[in-house]
Amino acid sequence: MGEEKYCISCGMPLRTPDDHPLGDTTKDYCKYCAKPDGSMKSFEEALSGMAGFLERSQGLKGEAAWKAAFFALTKNPAWKSYAK
Ligand SMILES: [Zn+2]
């Protein structure tokens, strides 16, 4: 079954319809990077979401979590142009 797809925003593998926003497999981003209406979150929204996730999962704090989130997100196709 073809190549594995990854979320263009956060890099998460998109394996099942449940990984997609509203189960829509035509979308190339995951449900965590989508707003309730199924549209993709902005860079700022993705960044704060990722920073919060890293604080909870990795114990990173404040600026460290923000920098790690920025680094992780700007490796992905949706946000490459944001990399410094
Ligand atoms: Zn994602």
- Backbone φ/ψ region at 58: left (φ over 0), alpha (ψ -120 to 50), beta: alpha
Q: Would you call 25 helix, strand, or coil by DSSP?
A: coil
In a domain, residue 64? The reply is: yes
In a domain, residue 38? The reply is: no
In a domain, residue 34? The reply is: no
Q: Are 18 and 12 in contact (CB under 8 A)?
A: no
**What is the CA(30)–ligand 1 centre distance, in A?**
4
In this structure, what token pair is assigned to residue 13? Answer: 């593998």
In a domain, residue 23? The reply is: no
In a domain, residue 3? The reply is: no
**What is the CA(63)–ligand 1 centre distance, in A?**
22
Sequence-separated (6 or more) residues with CB below 8 Å from residue 18: 31
Domain that holds residue 63: 43-79
Show pLDDT as tens, one digit a residue, over the chain (84 residues).
567 899 999 999 999 999 999 999 999 999 999 999 999 999 999 999 999 999 999 999 999 999 999 999 999 999 999 987
Domain count of the fold of the chain = 1
**What is the CA(56)–ligand 1 centre distance, in A?**
17
**What is the CA(34)–ligand 1 centre distance, in A?**
8
pLDDT of residue 39: 98
pLDDT of residue 3: 79
pTM of the model: 0.86
